[in-house]
């Protein structure tokens, strides 16, 4: 998952405005944002210790809005566009950004 071996690593974060509940058959965000500075980006990737050494893959990115953005979902992908989605999270509340606002998303995947 974190850029080891020959498979394409999951190192990209995306956000969207879709609020449909998560189901395991989803392969993409419901409504991925791409405008006003909200496009998918390569994340800062690290291994963290939750219970055991390096048992958590952490992806982090901070978006800066260049216009209005509504965020209700976020996901981890293995490509800068399309690709495979590893995880999707529907946020508890909607995040609304205006131009120059920032939003930081940290997504931890704990392998136990």
CB 85 within 8 A of CB 73: no
What is the per-residue pLDDT for 94? 98
For the chain, the structural domain boundaries read 12-110
List, in order, residues 6 or more apart from 39 with CB less than 8 Å away. Answer: 14, 33
What is the per-residue pLDDT for 1? 54
Least confident of 1-5, 38-42, 77-81, 103-107: 1-5
| pLDDT over 70 percentage in the chain | 94
Residues 19-74 have pLDDT tens digits of 999 998 999 999 999 999 999 999 999 999 999 999 999 999 999 999 999 999 99
Tally Cβ neighbours within 10 Å of residue 44: 13
What is the per-residue pLDDT for 8? 85
- In 5-110, which ranges are E strands? 12-16, 41-42, 44-48, 56-64, 69-77, 85-97, 102-110
pTM for the model stands at: 0.90
């Amino acid at each position: 998952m974190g850029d080891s071996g020959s498979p394409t690593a999951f190192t990209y974060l995306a956000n969207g405005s879709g609020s449909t509940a998560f189901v395991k058959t989803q392969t993409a965000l419901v409504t991925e944002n791409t405008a006003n500075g909200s496009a998918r980006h390569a994340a800062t990737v690290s291994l963290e210790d939750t219970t055991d050494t390096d048992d958590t893959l952490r992806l982090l990115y901070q978006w800066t809005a260049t216009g209005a953005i509504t965020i209700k979902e976020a996901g981890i992908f293995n490509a800068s566009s399309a690709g495979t989605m590893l995880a999707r999270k529907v946020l508890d509340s909607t995040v609304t950004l205006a131009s120059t606002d920032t939003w930081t998303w940290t997504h931890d995947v704990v392998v136990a």
